[in-house]
Amino acid sequence: MKIGGRKTFMTSMESVAMTDIVLNMFIFFFISFSLLYTFSPQRVQKLEVKLPKAAHTTSIDKSSQLNITLTNEGVLYFEQDVVTMRELKDRVRQKHGANPTVIVVLRADKLVNFKTVVSVLDMLTEIGVSNLNIAAVND
């Protein structure tokens, strides 16, 4: 004769604990990747550089300008894209060829190596850019 007892299953409590762990991991990874994506230097919409001060500045029409940015770390940007000096030369040559009156604005951090600024200026002169401005903040 077989005597059967009551069988109790703890599946409901185990599944709740597992659901809680998975949900917490999902929240952790979602927030982590969201922060990494948000603060990634390649995704920054407005490049912040500390521009040098000048006593006399003028504003220009922003619709017909090309922005070249040199950061303190030595990273070179064309508009919002990270580029090498060779890629910068090709892109500026292409844009300048399409519109020779385009205004080029060089935004260089005040702590950037002057040799890099001169290299960019030399490259722009080689292409034939005549409308060149160097960005500064009003004193």
**What is the per-residue pLDDT across 25-59, written as a single tens digit (0 to 9) for each?**
999 988 888 887 776 655 544 667 777 777 777 77
Residue 68 belongs to a domain with what CATH number?
3.30.420.270
CA distance 126 to 102: 16
Cα torsion 106, 110, 111, 115: sign:
positive
Q: Please tell me the predicted confidence (pLDDT) of residue 4.
A: 62
Considering the domain boundaries, does residue 7 fall inside one? Answer: no
CA distance 44 to 92: 22
Would you say the pTM of this structure is higher than 0.75?
A: no
Considering the domain boundaries, does residue 63 fall inside one? Answer: yes
Q: Which residues span the domain enclosing 122?
A: 53-138
Considering the domain boundaries, does residue 2 fall inside one? Answer: no
Side-chain-facing half-sphere of 23: CA atoms under 13 Å:
6
CA distance 135 to 75: 17
Q: How many domains does the chain have?
A: 1
**What is the per-residue pLDDT across 87-131, written as a single tens digit (0 to 9) for each?**
999 999 999 899 888 889 898 888 888 888 899 999 999 999 888
